[in-house]
Amino acid sequence: MNHRPRVAFLIPIASPRRVRNWHVACSYFKQTLSSIFNSTDGKYCVVAAGHELPEFQLPKDPRFKFLSLDHPLPSLERSYYLAAVHDKLIKLKAAWEYAKSTFNPEYVMKLDWDDLVSSRLVEWLQNARGEPGYLIKHGWVWRSGSRYLIQRTEYFDRHCGSCLIIGSDLADKTGPFLTQIEGAILDENGYRFAANDHYSLVPGSGTTTLLLNDSHQRYTAQFAYLGYQLETVPFKAAVCRLHANNAGADESLGTETLRMFLGRVRRTRLLTPSLRKEFTLG
């Protein structure tokens, strides 16, 4: 590449041995890539990391790299969810090391293999003021397969890990960011605190980098710990896809109260042609 990318998208891909339907997973990943390559500004790069190549033809573009990894899949002994997070962080680390050494991006964004980004995001970031980091709080939640409806949210970071853009010079900064979400062993007080407060740093947390953790509801507190303020992307910049092929789907698609149902109805919008185009929604 003859210019420095404004942002690197890092995409860890689940193994076909850990998803319910590999064919469906590949179609979601293909759509995720399409949403990135649909960007109105081309100053980005993409590094995906997985055990097996997907079933479709990967982009032949100098801004794209797929890393084939061969580490043993984490044990399912403690839980499927913890194994999935552990595997995700291993792949993120490999993708980040490659992106740093090859592309040297100004920012980095973790993107789940089944989520989508706005075609406007890279262009907006290119013209932004260059803050240490940006949080996507405004976004969409889409139940995959819904042809006509989508839900808006002002709490995207509560729903989805694809919500953080980090300045590259901060990505490797360390702090007490590892919680039970990533499998850290906390004492009784730490577990109680984590259960009651989802947004602060958890006492007794393990040490890791700003990039290599999955505690997305605590990102603002992590930036504050390092002495930085996390700014907000001022528009609906991403789509969180809910489906039955990922680790959290059973909980996300489970029973809801009447209050939750009414809130979902209030937030529901028509899936318009402009939204389909902006996010390459099928």
**Cβ-contact 11, 47 below 8 angstroms:** yes
**Per-residue model confidence as pLDDT tens digits over 217-248:** 999 999 999 999 999 999 999 999 998 765 44
* Strand locations in the chain (E): 7-12, 44-50, 64-68, 107-110, 116-117, 133-135, 139-143, 149-153, 164-167, 174-178, 206-209, 231-232, 238-242, 268-270
| Percent residues over pLDDT 90 in the chain | 87
How far is residue 256 CA from its own chain's centroid? 24
Distances 100 to 6, 47, 51, 63, 204 between C-alpha atoms, Å: 12, 10, 21, 13, 30
Quote the pTM value: 0.93
- Architecture per CATH, domain 7-279, reads as Alpha-Beta Complex (3.90)
**Per-residue model confidence as pLDDT tens digits over 70-114:** 999 999 998 999 999 999 999 999 999 999 999 999 999 999 999
What is the structure's pLDDT at 244?
79
What are the domain boundaries of the chain? 7-279
φ, ψ dihedrals at 278, nearest 5°:
-65, -35
What is the structure's pLDDT at 266?
79
